[in-house]
Structure 1
Amino acid sequence: MLEIKMEECVSRGLSSDLASLLRCEGLTTITLTRLDQLVTKSVSGSGFSRVLVVLKSLEILCENREELQTLIHLGLTAKVVSWFSAIHQPLTSDLQRNATPLLNLADAFYDYFLLLCQTSLPVSQLSVVLLQLARFALDQDIHFPLRLEAIRTFNSILEFLSREQRRQIQMDQNQTPILSQVAAAVLTVGDYELQVSLSEALCRLTPRKEREHRANQWFSCRDISRAFCDIRDVDFEVDCRRFLNFVNRYHGDQRRAFLDSTEGFLWGSIHLLKEEVDRYSLYLKQDGCTGAETVLSVQLNTPSCTRTAEVVRWS
């Protein structure tokens, strides 16, 4: 009977009714198991909008601290992390990765993790959530905006934690391998915004007194290691920009970005969907004064704008 009622709420998109039903039935291992079965079935059948209803109902329940603690005690965190892991396959599938319901669901998971981690979640569970977010951020097959939002959520969670909670996570040995991958991605990811967020994650999870030792392990180039250690937490934005400018220059000629005739002062990101592009060309333009300039020209089906410049040429 419970399964039928839950199915009705989910099918009709009634998250508040589902939350009320779970309250009436009682927050027990049985109800959480039934909810888990419903979500697992929905994900396997690409019912992403149905899972979104479940997450919204859990958000409603989390407004009551007592109910939230009951759910956490019953193993809610492990269930939600498992559901989040289950959408990894469709997010990397060419057929589903850009589906709006799936993208909306991924964003909802980020919001829910942020909400969940603002409570008195055990550090061991916090660490698991952070690891999953980091893995999504590093996966090149996942839609780029979702990767960027994953690491931003990672940093937002760390920002909310107490100094003691952060210290315990910094000591968690499970974080060590993923931090090495994050450091490697800083050098190769090719996007400034993502580089900044990855660098922020490294700084947040590395005690100042250990930063030099870890940086020497992460970066084989001593100059890059020293540049990373020069990042001061109090001036992170400015110092991180210097670090990344050094990194990006180190791996090639200094580059500049142009939108038509407008030169970008700092690195920025422009994301174009394949179906928006009519044609493009990449060529080397020789300049007697400044040397060679690599120019990427993109012709869009519909002109786009960023701030005051129309996107015509990116070099």
Structure 2
Amino acid sequence: MYNYRSLNGLHILSASSVIPSCKEYVHVLVEGELETEESELEKCIDDATKKQDFQGLEPFLDNDIYDSISHKCSKQFLNKIDKLICQGLDKGELKNVSTLLNVLQKHGKNINILGEVGFPAMIEYSLVQKMVTWFEKAKGFLENNTNEKNNKLTILFEDFFDILMVVHDTSSKGKIQILENFILRTCALATDKNINIYIQQEAVRKLNTMLNAMPRDIRKKIISTKEMLHVMNDMGKRILEAGDYDLQVAITEALCRMTSEKQRGELASQWFSMEFISNAFKGIKDSEFETDCRKFLNQVNGMLGDKRRVFTYPCLSAILDNYELQIPADDNLEEFWIDFNTGSRSISFYVAADDEGNQWETICIPEEEVDTYIIEEKDQKKVLIIHVNNPISVDTKEGDKITLHFDSALEIADAVSKVYGATKCKGFTRKNAMSVAKTTVHVIFDESGSQVLVPESQMSSLNEGSKLDEKGYALHRHYKTQMALNQKADKVDFQTVKSIVSFLLSKK
């Protein structure tokens, strides 16, 4: 692809075969450094503007040899990039926009504008203000593609948030401008139920990274505004309907990062109208966030009954091909939880990484990656076997089959069907089945996040008292009722018990 030749001790690299529109430019390698008399990057930007030819920019992404070049650009360079990105967004040419964002992200640190170098120089030329315009234009596409998974849109927003973080990390001025212009916008993006979950996940991940590094004075200034308090209320509501456990965790984390534990006690009742849920949120400790958040969200999703969009079941074991995956090492983690996410149409769970740092690794199996699945019942266990199209990697292990073992009494089939649909199911088989009298039990989560067992025969009396009053505050009383019923249930013989089917608690 590259043609090197020696000339009087100088090594010459011809770029003619790489960038047809920039044939006249030659890179000269002198003493290990590439120098260019004129700005090849800006020339290719000009070609893209005049000829709509973006091919000349692709080598800047594909080849590392450009990484050490100082790109001399005119004062109008950033305006040219801005014009191209805005035109691309207006015309729906998302791939071209992504190319421009990636070029800017990769080479921005080496751009030289009249002697001023890198992103600090572009910040002085109103880069962040231009990014606000790009964001608002891109958001218009989300409104026209309500909750649809559009790979080009997802990639576009990933690229945008990548460069946003580069600018954020460049300097204190860049950080302040990004925080002031994008914290509220990113929070609002995460609360809109019509926006694709994968884009929201990316947005909230970057939001939490920004919040983690936010100076205290800036935090106080931004979080205390009326607009921010309103969007935080919307974030609380979004947790209830998100339809994806990882997104629920990320939004919960953002709310915790934006407030102190004392402030949460004051604001939780505004975020969550149901007293039981607000009390559960107040119980989240920063030092035990992962496990406390699990208890909180298990309660939230369980209380939603038939309206829930995340179904969570305890798993007995998880196997990748022939390699058994391990539950994360945490004394406060009571179960090996598996989340069935109907919003993102995925199954996800956390496993222990192989390193010695007690790290958690996420495994997510989206519907589009599933080839087939089958549910078997054998040896008093329900076994979900998922065959995927592309291998799943966990540390050094890799495989194309995930096997999840559950207690035989758990009704997982409906949850799997809601996530993956019925067409990919290759059957439900029973092996070594025995004729055993079973008592169906409803498993609900008490205030500590532990499971409470209630027999089917006693659910009618519980449901009669489970309707919310006009103000929507009866949940705490209902849990006390459940605890009492659980004491009675302990006297009943439940050899196959543990069926998780939450009772319906909804406003009527």
TM-score for both structures, normalised by structure 1: 0.76
Q: Does 1:78 align with 2:155?
A: no
Distance of aligned partners of 1:25 and 1:97 in 2 relative to their CA distance in 1, 3 Å threshold:
farther
User: What is the alpha-carbon distance in structure 1 between the residues aligned to residue 148 and residue 412 of structure 2?
Assistant: 34
1:11 corresponds in structure 2 to 54
The 5-angstrom pairing of residues 1-315 of structure 1 reads 4-7=46-49, 11-14=54-57, 16=60, 23-26=71-74, 28=75, 30-64=76-110, 66-94=117-145, 98-119=149-170, 120=172, 121-252=174-305, 256-257=312-313, 265-269=337-341, 270=346, 271-273=366-368, 295-296=414-415, 297=417, 298-301=421-424
Return the letter of the residue paired with 2:79: T
Deviations 1:270-292 (A, max 9, x none): 14259989xxxxxxxxxxxx899
2:396 corresponds in structure 1 to none
User: What is the alpha-carbon distance in structure 1 between the residues aligned to residue 79 and residue 226 of structure 2?
Assistant: 31
User: What is the alpha-carbon distance in structure 2 between the residues aligned to residue 63 and residue 302 of structure 1?
Assistant: 50
Distance of aligned partners of 1:126 and 1:66 in 2 relative to their CA distance in 1, 3 Å threshold:
farther
Runs of 5+ consecutive residues of structure 1 not aligned to the other structure: 278-289, 304-314
| TM-fit CA distance, 1:202 | 0.4
Aligned to 1:267, what secondary structure does the other structure show? strand
Aligned to 1:154, what secondary structure does the other structure show? helix
Percent identity of equivalent pairs? 27
| TM-fit CA distance, 1:19 | 10
Return the letter of the residue paired with 1:179: M
| TM-fit CA distance, 1:199 | 0.4
Return the letter of the residue paired with 2:123: I
Return the letter of the residue paired with 1:175: M
Say how many residue pairs are matched: 291
Give RMSD over aligned pairs. 4.0
1:282 corresponds in structure 2 to none
Q: Which protein has the bigger strand share?
A: 2
Higher relative contact order (CA 8 A, sep 6+): 1
Return 85-94 or 1-10, whichever deviates more.
1-10
Aligned to 1:161, what secondary structure does the other structure show? coil
User: What is the alpha-carbon distance in structure 1 between the residues aligned to residue 233 and residue 161 of structure 2?
Assistant: 23
Distance of aligned partners of 1:20 and 1:14 in 2 relative to their CA distance in 1, 3 Å threshold:
farther
| TM-fit CA distance, 1:207 | 2.4
Aligned to 1:142, what secondary structure does the other structure show? coil
Q: Which protein has the bigger helix share?
A: 1
| TM-fit CA distance, 1:198 | 0.7
Aligned to 1:265, what secondary structure does the other structure show? strand
| TM-fit CA distance, 1:236 | 0.6
Structure with larger Rg: 2
| TM-fit CA distance, 1:184 | 0.9
2:379 corresponds in structure 1 to none
Distance of aligned partners of 1:12 and 1:246 in 2 relative to their CA distance in 1, 3 Å threshold:
same
The answer to whether the Cα contact below 8 Å between 1:81 and 1:132 also exists between their aligned partners in 2 is no
